[in-house]
Structure formats: structure tokens, C-alpha cells
């Protein structure tokens, strides 16, 4: 039987490195009635953290979400030097669309302080959604360990059970700050890993991106222009919605097929630093006898996604009424 509590929006905090696909995630989160977006924290990743803050404010303004607090966080990884992904996201980290900047200022608080405050003040435990290197989250858990009890679960974009992207072994967000990821994955909190095994599966066609770009709704238009940029960069006919798939999976968890496994982060390795070692050994006897010992909690690893339904959820939410030619149902 459903009750009011069942249908109330899920309180969510996004941690982002906006980022073309982080922008799509922000648009979906702000437009979805199923999500109560409490705050957004920014971290260096796809671009430097100041650029990430500018991009994030611009996206939230475009979506009309002018009251969602945004804070600047870590400007580099815990150990590794500053790096970015301009080869994917453009010089400004968000497709170089030449959009006017937001006139809004970020919070005076550091991201770690905004995260703490938002978690403490939330009326119920919050779903924390890191879409970026997890530097801010690791700093939060180490600085204010008591706020862990205010986190319902962590659903993060990062890692891969199979191949990487930043390196052959490692996915970008984990590769960027492996120590931070290790802190989060040993926190004992319930964690879902939305990694490269599903990340590229939810795509939008170039024709749909063109229709979105022609929309009079500023949020739908921005989504279309961002997707079109990625289609053009890749020289294909469609592009992934990337981090927005994570938000779709928070809205509708049954989109994902997950398997519970121990996951460890490779912190050494000449070629494998930042790899997520998903322990898929079939015999539990080998797993418990492993000399490394067991991590405090298994991770729900996403190994499959209903990509058609996830795409429809994205389009129906960001651009209601837009026909989806990719929809064969
Ligand atoms: C991840 O890396 C970033 O470039 C994207 O925004 C996404 O979060 C994919 O590896
Ligand atoms: Ca990202």
C-alpha cells in the first residue's frame, strides 16, 4: 500500500565537476518531482574547481533552480596533481557554448561545510550522489564522521568492473582521486557503483538533440546543445547522457541490475592505479580466506541498465512532450 511518505521526493545532494554530463544530471535533478535537491558541491575534475563552480551556477540558473546552494570544494585530489578532462568537455569544461555567466555567487561556505550543514539540517537521511572525483566526500567523512548517519546511501558515478577510460584499467573519477574513493568505499555506508559498465549505455540520438536544441525552454535547449556537442566530438549518431544516468537510477532504482560484491581501489600499480577491483569470485571460501581481509561492506555494482527506459525518463523529465524517435515502444 502506498502512503504519503512513499511519494515524497528523495532528498539528494549532488557532488559535481560540471562537466557536460554533470550538467545533464543537474538538469534532470532540478526538473524531477521525485528529487528534492538540497545542495550542490563542486570539486576539481573535468575542469578546475572555479570553472566547475561557474558551470554549475550557469546550469542551475538555466533550470530556474536559483535557490539551490552551491559551494566550491577541493581544488585538487588528496595526493595527485591537478588534472582535467578538457579533451572531452571543452576548454571551459562545458562544451565551449559561449553562454553568459551566472550573476549569482556561490555559498561563502566551503563545500565540506555546506555538505555537513545540509546533511545535519535535512529532515531525513539524504542520498549522496558523487558524479566526480570523491575528494569532497572523503574530506567530509574524515572531518565530520558523525554525518555518515545522515546519509541514506551513496550512489556514485565511477569505476568499472570491466575496462577503464582514463587508463586501460581506471575510470576517470576514481583515477583522479583513488585515495578519496578508497575512503568512501571503506566507510561502511551503503554504496551503489554506477560505473563504465552502464555509463555509455543510455544515449540520445543526434536528431533528438537537434529537437531539444530548438526548444524554447532554456533547460531543454541547453541539454540539446550539450548532447549535440558530444555527438559531434565523437563523430557518431548519438551520445551518452553520462552522469545523468545516475540521477535517473536514483529516481528509478529498478532501472539498474546490480550485484553485491566487495570492491577495492587499486592505490598502487604502474598501469592500474585507480582501478576498481570488483571481486566476482564465485566461491565464497576463496573470498573469506583472502589475505587482504574483507572490506566493511559490499558495494551494489551496476552491471546492467534498462537504457530505453532511462533515456525516456531523462527526456520526459527535461523536455516533456518531446517526441522520442529512439523510442520503439
Ligand atoms: C566520468 O568522468 C567525467 O569526465 C564525467 O563527467 C563522468 O563523471 C566518466 O568517466
Ligand atoms: Ca562528472
| Tens digit of each residue's pLDDT (9 = 90 or more) over 236-271 | 999 999 999 999 999 999 999 999 999 999 999 999
| Ligand 1 center to 110 CA (angstroms) | 23
Q: What's the mean pLDDT in 43-53? A: 97
For 86, counting Cβ atoms within 10 Å of its Cβ (0-12 exposed, 13-18 middle, 19+ buried), the class is middle
Nearest CA to ligand 1 atom 9: 172
Q: Give the residue, 60 or 89, on which the prediction is more confident.
A: 60
327 in any annotated domain: no
How far does the centroid of ligand 1 lie from the alpha carbon of residue 290, in Å?
Answer: 32
CB 131 less than 6 A from any atom of ligand 1: yes
Whether 3 has a pLDDT exceeding 80, the answer reads no
Instruction: Report pLDDT digits (tens) over 6-16.
Output: 579 999 999 99
Quick: pLDDT tens for 137-160.
999 999 999 999 999 999 999 999
Whether residue 177 is contained in a domain is answered as yes
User: Mean per-residue pLDDT for 79-91?
Assistant: 90
Assign 324 a pLDDT band (cuts: 50, 70, 90): low
CATH number at residue 117: 3.90.245.10
Residue 93 domain-assigned (yes or no): yes
β-strand partners of 240:
203
pLDDT, residue 328, reads 47
- Domain assignment present for residue 113? The answer is yes
Domain count, the chain: 1
Which residues constitute the domain of residue 126? 10-318
Atom of ligand 1 nearest to the CA of 46: 4
Q: How far is the CA of 130 from the centre of ligand 1 (A)?
A: 11
Ligand 1: residue whose CA is nearest its atom 7: 243
The mean pLDDT of the chain is 95
Specify if 3 maps to a domain.
no
Of 132, 227, 229, the one to substitute when testing ligand 1's pocket (max ligand atoms within 8 A of C-beta) is 132
Retrieve residue 199's grid coordinates. Answer: 555509463
Neighbouring residues of 236: CB distance < 8 A, sequence distance ≥ 6 = 206
User: Does some domain include residue 18?
Assistant: yes
Give the end-to-end CA distance of the chain in Å, rounded to a whole number. 29
Q: Is residue 189 part of a domain?
A: yes
| Domain-embedded: residue 323 | no
Check if 57 has its Cβ closer than 6 Å to any atom of ligand 1.
no
Q: Is 171 helix (H, G, I), strand (E, B) or coil?
A: coil
Give yes or no for residue 113 having a pLDDT over 90.
Answer: yes
What percentage of the chain has pLDDT greater than the value 70? 96
- In 3D space, the residue among 17, 55, 24 whose CA is nearest the CA of residue 223 turns out to be 24
Whether 2 has a pLDDT exceeding 50, the answer reads: no
Query: Looking at ligand 1, which atom is closest to the CA of residue 242?
Result: 7
Best residue for ligand 1 mutational test, from 158, 180, 276 (most atoms within 8 Å of Cβ): 158
Q: What mean pLDDT do residues 14-34 have?
A: 98
pLDDT tops 50 at residue 218? yes
User: Which residue CA neighbors atom 2 of ligand 1 most closely?
Assistant: 172
CA distance 100 to 31: 22
Measure the CA–CA gap between 154 and 118, rounded to whole angstroms: 15
Q: Is 230 in the pocket of ligand 1 (CB under 6 A)?
A: no
At residue 133's C-alpha, the angle toward residues 162 and 204, to 5°, is 60
**Distance (Å) from CA 243 to ligand 1 centroid:** 7
Amino acid at each position: 500500500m502506498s502512503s504519503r511518505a512513499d511519494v515524497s521526493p528523495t532528498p539528494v545532494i549532488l557532488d559535481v565537476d560540471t562537466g557536460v554530463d554533470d550538467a545533464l544530471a543537474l538538469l534532470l535533478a532540478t526538473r524531477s518531482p521525485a528529487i528534492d535537491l538540497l545542495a550542490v558541491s563542486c570539486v576539481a575534475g573535468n575542469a578546475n574547481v572555479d570553472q566547475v563552480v561557474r558551470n554549475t551556477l550557469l546550469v542551475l540558473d538555466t533550470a530556474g533552480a536559483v535557490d539551490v546552494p552551491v559551494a566550491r570544494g577541493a581544488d585538487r585530489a588528496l595526493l595527485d596533481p591537478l588534472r582535467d578532462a578538457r579533451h572531452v568537455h571543452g576548454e571551459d569544461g562545458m562544451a565551449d557554448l559561449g553562454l553568459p555567466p551566472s550573476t549569482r555567487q556561490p555559498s561563502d561556505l566551503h563545500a565540506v561545510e555546506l555538505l555537513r550543514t545540509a546533511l545535519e539540517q535535512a529532515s531525513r537521511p539524504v542520498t549522496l550522489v558523487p558524479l566526480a572525483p570523491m575528494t569532497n566526500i572523503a574530506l567530509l567523512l574524515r572531518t565530520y564522521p558523525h554525518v555518515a548517519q545522515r546519509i541514506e546511501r551513496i550512489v556514485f558515478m565511477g569505476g568499472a568492473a570491466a575496462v577503464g577510460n582514463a587508463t586501460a584499467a581506471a575510470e576517470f573519477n576514481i583515477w583522479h582521486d583513488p585515495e578519496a574513493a578508497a575512503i568512501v568505499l571503506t566507510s561502511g555506508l551503503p554504496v551503489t557503483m554506477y560505473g563504465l559498465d552502464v555509463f555509455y549505455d543510455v544515449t540520445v540520438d543526434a536528431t533528438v538533440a537537434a529537437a531539444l536544441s530548438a526548444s524554447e525552454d532554456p533547460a531543454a535547449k541547453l541539454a540539446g546543445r550539450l548532447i549535440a556537442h558530444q555527438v559531434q566530438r565523437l563523430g557518431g549518431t548519438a551520445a551518452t547522457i553520462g552522469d545523468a544516468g545516475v540521477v535517473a537510477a536514483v529516481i528509478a532504482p529498478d532501472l539498474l541490475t546490480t550485484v553485491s560484491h566487495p570492491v577495492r581501489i587499486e592505490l598502487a600499480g604502474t598501469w592500474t592505479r585507480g582501478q576498481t577491483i570488483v571481486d566476482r569470485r564465485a566461491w565464497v571460501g576463496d573470498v573469506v580466506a583472502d589475505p587482504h581481509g574483507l572490506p566493511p561492506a559490499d558495494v551494489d555494482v551496476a552491471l546492467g541498465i534498462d537504457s530505453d527506459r532511462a533515456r525516456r525518463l531523462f527526456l520526459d523529465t527535461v523536455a516533456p512532450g518531446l517526441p522520442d524517435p529512439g523510442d520503439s515502444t
